Structure 1
Amino acid sequence: MTMTNVAPRGDTVLRSVLHLADLAPHAGGYQWRLTDGAAHLHLDTPDSPPTVLLGVGAVLHHLRVALAASGWGALVRRGTMPSDPTHVASIHAVRQQPTPEQVAMAAAISIRTSDDADYSEAAVPWTVLRRLSSQAASEGAELHLVVDHETRVRMLRRSKSLRNAGVLAVIATNDVLAAGAAFSAVLLMGTVWGLLGCRLPMRPQLARAVVGPDLTPQVLLRLGYPRT
């Protein structure tokens, strides 16, 4: 038998990584359609709530990371179509060499856990927090740390945790899909650095006081090391 070095089709590669994209934190309300060599992401309804759009942004980011680790880049075209207001984005796979960071983040997809249990009191180093902030910025969002103690306590009142441990941060941007992508990026990079991460219920008034008047708070995120 003669072996040939035939590169897989882009749609074949997309199909192989969609299950990894679906491991992103999301509230459902979307579906994939594979046509014309591309993956098309659709909402179930054109008037989907922000929680669904946030999850869709995270799913798109997971897909990009999974493709990168497979040696492919993602050409993403966002936007609805006049004939289909449920259409969110079209993704084509293009050949691209992954970075070590992308490979590490892709490996984190399958091992990431979301747990609002007791976190360790061990401090998260500023070097790690800066890396997480950089990930959010690369997706068009800002990561704002909650440093005021009283604000932290009030934000944690809806948490299951019995201890005031870990880091609280607010992801802020005026683009909800970008917020979802930033959420995904921060969670995956946090996992690479050994952190747990979970989304907490957000009180908008408190969150706006943290991020300021120019951006919309989208996600309240808790990060920290697991208690051993």
Structure 2
Amino acid sequence: MAQAHPDPDTVRSALALAVRAPSVHNTQPWQWRIGDRTVHLYADDTRQLPLADPDRRDLLLSCGAALHHFRVAARSFGWHTVVHRFPNPAEQQHLASIEFTATTPTSDVIATARAITRRRTDRRRVTSWEVPPTHTRHIIEAGTAEGALVHEIAGGGTRTRLVQAFQDAARLHRDDARYQTELALWSGRHVTPEGVPARDAVTATDPLTREFRSPELTEAVIHDLDDRGVLLLVHTGADDPLSRLRAGEATSAVLLAATTFGLATCPLTEPMELPDTRDLVRADVLSDSGFPQLIVRIGWAATSAAQVPLTPRRPLDNVVRPL
């Protein structure tokens, strides 16, 4: 008789890949609970960033990315996931209840799952080499299949105003002593299981790059400084918690699809963390229709660039418990 539910080792293996998802400042704001036939995802609000993320938007995006990573991993192990998002409206920390049905993984699913351990957040400049339009279309389709909207941000004046939003957000954050204290708690250290290690942060010569503490990563691209790769905006029609969770799932799909092509990727959220600069992005890029959630930069890394090391993660036993 065929199994009706993945065994515990398979679930833990999928969760080990799920927690490789990117999260704001590498806070990893999730908790997983394993039942007899279900897996549950909870938000860990104790890891919310009060200054960078006062409305939990980044937290929910992060958890959505982990949820999509888990779905991809489970599918690669032969299990289709049936996800009930926000199954208990009275408990907003309970983000998803996940059930399983057996399936046969395709080669595309396996390739996407393999991309989980290959993906890095690469904050360095990308080269001016063109990303083939067919790659970009495939990546956009992968994201929009996950319940959010994704489109490429055009060049010219729109991109110029977007860069201005990044610069304005960086300036406001630079002048906010409380934000700077929070940033110091979550960056600039050496290898730790949480936060952005110094070795993964780059000196912010690019206006799209957040100014983390004590950066040690050096730029590999010193030419073509006006070219910043392809910028993809993940946005939603509403701005409720479900929309933000789905935007996180779409972001994961974008990142993994880009990684399968060998592209460097970097999620960018700083302008969306402040009301004024988020409104600027909403007006200039979306013409006030919909809500910008984050931007993903994709492009080709320099062939001379050393690979960014994997960012450490908290031990699995710290974030996974029985139901």
TM-score by length of 2: 0.64
Amino acid at match of 1:16: S
Determine the C-alpha separation between the residues in 2 that align with 1:74 and 1:89: 11
Give the 3-state SS of the residue equivalent to 2:45 in structure 1.
Answer: coil
Contact 2:4–2:101 at 8 Å: present in 1 too?
Answer: no
Q: Which residue of 2 aligns with 1:44?
A: 44
Identity of aligned pairs, percent? 35
Q: For 1:63-111, what per-residue CA distance to the aligned partner results, in whole angstroms no more than 9, with x for missing partners?
A: 0100111111111111142664421111122101122221111000001
Between 35-44 and 176-185, the greater mean CA deviation after superposition? 35-44
Amino acid at match of 1:157: P
TM-score by length of 1: 0.89
Contact 1:11–1:38 at 8 Å: present in 2 too?
Answer: no
1:64 aligns to 2:71 (yes or no): yes
Give the 3-state SS of the residue equivalent to 2:143 in structure 1.
Answer: helix
Give the 3-state SS of the residue equivalent to 1:14 in structure 2.
Answer: helix
1:205 aligns to 2:279 (yes or no): yes
Determine the C-alpha separation between the residues in 1 that align with 2:290 and 2:108: 28
Q: For 1:172-194, what per-residue CA distance to the aligned partner results, in whole angstroms no more than 9, with x for missing partners?
A: 11310111011000000000011
Pick the structure with more strand per residue: 1
Structural mapping, 1:88-107, within 5 Å: 88-107=95-114
Q: Which residue of 2 aligns with 1:159?
A: 209
Contact 1:10–1:92 at 8 Å: present in 2 too?
Answer: no
Give the 3-state SS of the residue equivalent to 2:159 in structure 1.
Answer: helix
Amino acid at match of 1:123: E
Contact 2:4–2:102 at 8 Å: present in 1 too?
Answer: no
Q: Which has the higher contact order (CA 8 A, sep 6+)?
A: 2
Unaligned runs of 5+ in 1: none
Give the 3-state SS of the residue equivalent to 2:118 in structure 1.
Answer: coil
Determine the C-alpha separation between the residues in 1 that align with 2:93 and 2:68: 19
1:21 aligns to 2:21 (yes or no): no
Contact 2:5–2:101 at 8 Å: present in 1 too?
Answer: no
Give the 3-state SS of the residue equivalent to 2:114 in structure 1.
Answer: helix
Q: For 1:199-220, what per-residue CA distance to the aligned partner results, in whole angstroms no more than 9, with x for missing partners?
A: 1223423421212322110011
Q: Which residue of 2 aligns with 1:220?
A: 295
